[in-house]
């Protein structure tokens, strides 16, 4: 009987390893379960757009049975770099990075490349000395977004306006590119004057505070506001109303992101236009990771197409907004 029990134990021991799934890209070491393990370094959760992006990536990971190691950097690039270094030490199979600013990533991206860990950038690009340091960038065309907003504003105002530009986070790719695209569109209209450009850091409260100060400085000369995101536009609208101005009527307001609350503001006649910037990047990010782990070469830029919404089409789209 003892010999029979011993043989049964040997048989069971032989079966267990064969049933354990192998982990792609060495993820078993990171997770200890054989599941694919991916690290995700997010900038923060300071606005609904970024929260929607985080939820898209988390839900897509869960849908695919992927273990996601998530880090909220609370707006600090140093915290993102620290999180990435931790992901590398844990031996994750891939990293998703939403970089706060464009510069300062070369060293940590080189560490990831040396560890043979693909890095997929989402929604913002980086300025590096060697683009082999990252696998691909999944994002909207921010220059095109700024250009769309500028062209729409020029047409709406008949090519004549005194404009306040509320910029996003200084040094970030969307702020740099949305300014570039908008100002290029303005160059074709000499009577479209940018009275002031100032950062609101993509935050509603900062957009309101900056707009309050600029209203005092420029007063009635302000006939239009271009905000790099919807949150700052809402802040500007609040400041305009407090100053006795009529946003959407005597001050034309255009922004970028296409959030649900922006569509509501268009419905209410306070925001005139928003250019979409879709945050639901989870499916594209994990598709890219799957291809990278198979050894496939991806384009350096995977561009998500965006649309423009104003009073002519926003009402029909509002029920379809998922963010």
Of the listed ranges 8-17, 69-78, 140-149, 239-248, the one predicted with least confidence:
8-17
pLDDT band at 10 (very low <50, low <70, confident <90, very high): very low
Burial of residue 132 (number of CB atoms within 10 Å: 0-12, 13-18, 19+): exposed
How does pLDDT run across 93-152, given as a tens digit for each residue?
999 999 999 999 999 999 999 999 999 999 999 999 999 999 999 999 999 999 999 999
Chain centroid to CA 208: how far? 22
Give residue-wise pLDDT tens across range 231-253: 999 999 999 999 999 999 999 99
- CA dihedral angle for residue 105, residue 110, residue 111, residue 112, rounded to 10 degrees: 90
Residues 292-313: tens digit of each pLDDT: 999 999 999 999 889 999 999 9
Domain boundaries, given as residue ranges, for the chain: 24-138+279-304, 142-278+309-320
Pick the range with the lowest mean pLDDT from 22-31, 111-120, 166-175, 220-229. Answer: 22-31
* pLDDT tier at 12, thresholds 50, 70, 90: very low
> What pLDDT was estimated at residue 305?
86
Q: Which of 227, 150, 146 is nearest to 189 (CA)?
A: 150
Strands 308-310 and 273-276: antiparallel
Specify the CATH number of the domain 142-278+309-320: 3.40.50.2300
Asked if the model's pLDDT at residue 199 lies above 70, the reply is yes
Cβ proximity of 285 and 122 under 8 Å: yes
For residue 24, the model assigns a pLDDT of 37
Q: What is the pLDDT of residue 118?
A: 98
Distance CA 254, CA 221 (A): 17
Q: What is the pLDDT of residue 33?
A: 54
Burial of 294 (0-12, 13-18, 19+ CB in 10 A): exposed
Domains 24-138+279-304 and 142-278+309-320 share a fold: yes
Q: What is the mean pLDDT of residues 203-225?
A: 98
Closest CA to 280 of 38, 58, 124, 43: 58
CA-angle at 279, arms to 273 and 281, nearest 5°: 145
Paired tokens of 164: 């306040």
Question: Could you give phi then psi for residue 8, rounded to 5 degrees?
Answer: -65, -40
Pick the CATH number of 24-138+279-304 from 3.40.50.2020, 3.30.70.20, 3.40.50.2300, 3.10.150.10: 3.40.50.2300
Question: Does the pLDDT of residue 22 top 80, yes or no?
Answer: no
Average pLDDT over residues 205-225: 98
3-state class of 248 per DSSP? Answer: coil
Nearest partner of 67 among 36, 93, 26, 88, judged by Cα: 36
162-164-166 Cα angle (round to 5): 165
DSSP secondary-structure letter at 268? Answer: T
Indicate the DSSP class of residue 251.
B
Q: Which two tokens stand for residue 277?
A: 């910037």
- Say if residue 14 is exposed, middle or buried (CB neighbours under 10 Å; 0-12, 13-18, 19+): exposed
């Amino acid at each position: 009987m003892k010999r029979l029990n011993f043989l049964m134990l040997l048989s069971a021991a032989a079966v267990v390893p064969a049933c354990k799934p192998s982990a792609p890209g060495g993820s078993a070491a990171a997770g200890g379960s054989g599941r694919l393990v991916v690290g995700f370094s997010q900038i923060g959760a300071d606005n609904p757009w970024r929260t929607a992006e985080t939820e898209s990536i988390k839900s897509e990971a869960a849908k695919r049975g992927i273990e996601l190691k998530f880090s909220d950097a609370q707006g600090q690039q140093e915290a993102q770099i620290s999180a990435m270094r931790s992901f590398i030490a844990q031996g994750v199979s891939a990293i998703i990075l939403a970089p706060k600013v464009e510069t300062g990533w070369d060293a940590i991206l080189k560490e990831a490349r040396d560890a043979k860990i693909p890095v997929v950038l989402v929604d913002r690009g980086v300025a590096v000395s060697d683009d082999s340091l990252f696998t691909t960038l999944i994002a909207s065309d921010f220059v095109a977004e700024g250009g769309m907003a500028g062209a729409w504003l020029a047409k709406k105002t008949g090519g004549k306006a005194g404009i306040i530009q509320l910029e996003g986070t200084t040094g970030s790719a969307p702020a740099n590119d949305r300014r570039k695209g908008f100002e290029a569109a303005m160059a074709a209209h000499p009577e479209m004057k940018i009275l002031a450009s100032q950062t609101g850091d993509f935050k509603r409260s900062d957009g309101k505070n900056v707009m309050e100060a600029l209203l005092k400085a420029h007063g009635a000369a302000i006939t239009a506001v271009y905000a790099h995101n919807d949150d700052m536009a809402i802040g500007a609208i609040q400041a305009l109303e407090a100053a006795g101005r009529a946003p959407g009527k005597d001050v034309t307001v255009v922004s970028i992101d296409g959030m649900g609350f922006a569509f509501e503001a268009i419905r209410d006649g306070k925001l005139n236009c928003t250019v979409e910037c879709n945050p639901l990047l989870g499916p594209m990010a994990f598709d890219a990771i799957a291809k990278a782990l198979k050894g496939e070469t991806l384009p350096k830029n995977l561009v998500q197409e965006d649309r423009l919404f104003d009073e002519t089409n926003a009402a029909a789209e509002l029920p379809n907004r998922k963010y």
